[in-house]
């Protein structure tokens, strides 16, 4: 009973922390410097700062009660008090956030995604593969040319999966790495710039290019316009708040994501599965007799809530791991792995695949598997249509980075 009481105390402290980070994060995200703001990524910054603080002070005593800031595993205090682990709680917060955000993206892109899928869509597929390939080449170059004996495949693949913000890739690398702890250390170091770098890039590039956002948006929306045929049958609306279709889509996505492809032992996972489910349900607009067309306001709410939950759930442990393992040279390696595919990817999208600015940036956010960067791009572009480029690129990038993480970790 005492353990359950302490576990409840841990859960309650996490609930407070989650909403405190959310509150402060939105305030920070509102700060604008020369037209650049973190937006929702301000929540990530505060989560990382909190994680850094928690790495030094994991538990604080207030009024005779022990408040857990972050504990990677359960801990027994000198007086026999057992404090529960925070790791699983934050992992749950991140998983819920990912499922909600990616499902909303799929539902937003679904009505147009398959109706506009044509020969030009091959560019999105290739962008996903090329961006991961560029990150892989940069990683291999670091392994070859670094003079630090600790910079081996385990550390660098961790840096790569962090720099490309790929949790599935990170998990795949840990399974086959000679030193899983080094993979975790690299991931924590690379993740910080991997998130913030892409968020800033999608806002900064249009300013560097001096793009007229309103004009670019107008031409982009016109070019991506598609006629969506109305549903020709009487459908049942289960609830006015759209919880039923959203929850049903996530449930279907979890099932899809759990299906494993034999031989390579690959599955889409929660993020990939819910994206596919969102695209399918968004396209058809119903499940049997049930109406699954969500209001725009509902989709925006689910998308934003999912995003900030993901940022908090991933950001707090990320801040803890960053401080435990950070080394300036490793941090620079992570920056290189983020910048190389992102910058080269833009020029390929623009001049080889002839994508518009917003399509190129949307494809980059998908290729970098960057959930918060898509949120920033939607705010910058002023249209949710950019989600289509993300949705077209993301699954292929996800598959390729998991495959690459397994291969490179095993042979380099």
| pLDDT higher than 60, residue 359 | yes
pLDDT at residue 5, as a whole number? 47
| pLDDT higher than 60, residue 8 | no
The mean-pLDDT minimum among 2-11, 93-102, 161-170 falls in 2-11
DSSP string over 262-281: TTTTB--HHHHHHHHHHHHH
Chain segment 199-244, per-residue pLDDT in tens: 889 888 988 888 888 888 888 888 777 777 776 687 888 888 889 9
The two three-digit tokens of residue 250, written as one number? 């996530």
Please state which architecture CATH assigns to domain 91-225+237-411: Up-down Bundle (1.20)
pLDDT at residue 44, as a whole number? 82
Task: Domain ranges for the chain, please list them.
Answer: 2-73, 91-225+237-411
Secondary element (H or E) of residue 75: strand 75-76
Residue 263 backbone dihedrals phi, psi, to 5 degrees: 75, -60
Chain segment 45-63, per-residue pLDDT in tens: 898 888 888 888 877 777 6
Q: Residue 82, SS3?
A: strand
Q: Which residue has the tokens 């991140």?
A: 94
CA distance 222 to 225: 5
| pLDDT higher than 90, residue 248 | yes
Chain segment 83-142, per-residue pLDDT in tens: 777 788 888 888 888 889 889 888 887 887 777 666 567 888 899 899 999 999 998 899
SS3 of 129-193: HHHHHHHHHHHHHHHHHCCCCCCCHHHHHHHHHHHCCCHHHHHHHHHHCCCHHHHHHHHHHHHHH
């Amino acid at each position: 009973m005492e353990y359950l009481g302490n576990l409840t105390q841990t859960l309650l402290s996490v609930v407070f922390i989650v909403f405190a980070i959310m509150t402060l994060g939105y305030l920070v995200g509102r700060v604008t410097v020369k037209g650049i703001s973190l937006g929702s990524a301000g929540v990530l910054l505060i989560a990382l700062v909190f994680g850094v603080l928690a790495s030094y002070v994991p538990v604080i005593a207030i009024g005779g009660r022990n408040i857990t800031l972050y504990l990677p595993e359960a801990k027994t205090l000198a007086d026999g008090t057992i404090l529960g682990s925070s790791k699983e709680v934050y992992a749950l917060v991140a998983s819920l956030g990912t499922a909600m955000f990616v499902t909303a993206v799929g539902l937003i892109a679904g009505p147009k995604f398959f109706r506009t899928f044509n020969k030009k869509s091959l560019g999105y597929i290739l962008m996903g593969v090329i961006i991961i390939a560029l990150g892989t080449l940069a990683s291999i170059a670091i392994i070859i040319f670094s003079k630090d004996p600790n910079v081996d495949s385990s550390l660098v693949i961790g840096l790569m999966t962090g720099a490309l913000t790929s949790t599935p890739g990170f998990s795949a690398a840990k399974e086959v790495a000679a030193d899983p702890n080094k993979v975790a250390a690299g991931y924590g170091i690379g993740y910080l710039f991997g998130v913030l770098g892409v968020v800033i890039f999608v806002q900064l590039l249009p300013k560097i290019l001096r793009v007229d956002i309103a004009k670019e948006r107008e031409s982009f929306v016109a070019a991506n316009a598609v006629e969506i045929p109305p549903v020709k049958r009487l459908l049942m609306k289960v609830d006015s708040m759209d919880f039923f279709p959203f929850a049903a889509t996530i449930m279907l996505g979890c099932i899809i994501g759990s299906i494993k492809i034999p031989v390579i032992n690959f599955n889409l996972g929660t993020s990939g599965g819910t994206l596919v489910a969102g695209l399918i349900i968004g396209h058809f607009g119903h499940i049997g007799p049930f109406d699954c067309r969500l209001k725009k306001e509902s989709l925006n709410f689910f998308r934003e809530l999912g995003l900030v939950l993901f940022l908090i759930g991933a950001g707090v442990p990320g801040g803890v791991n960053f401080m435990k393992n950070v080394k300036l040279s490793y941090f620079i390696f992570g920056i290189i792995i983020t910048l190389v595919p992102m910058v080269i990817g833009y020029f390929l999208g623009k001049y080889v695949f002839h994508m518009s600015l917003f399509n190129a940036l949307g494809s980059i956010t998908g290729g970098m598997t960057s959930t918060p960067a898509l949120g920033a791009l939607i705010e910058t572009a002023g249209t949710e249509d950019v989600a289509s480029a993300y949705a077209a690129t993301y699954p292929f990038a996800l598959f390729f980075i998991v495959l690459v993480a397994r291969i490179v970790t095993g042979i380099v």
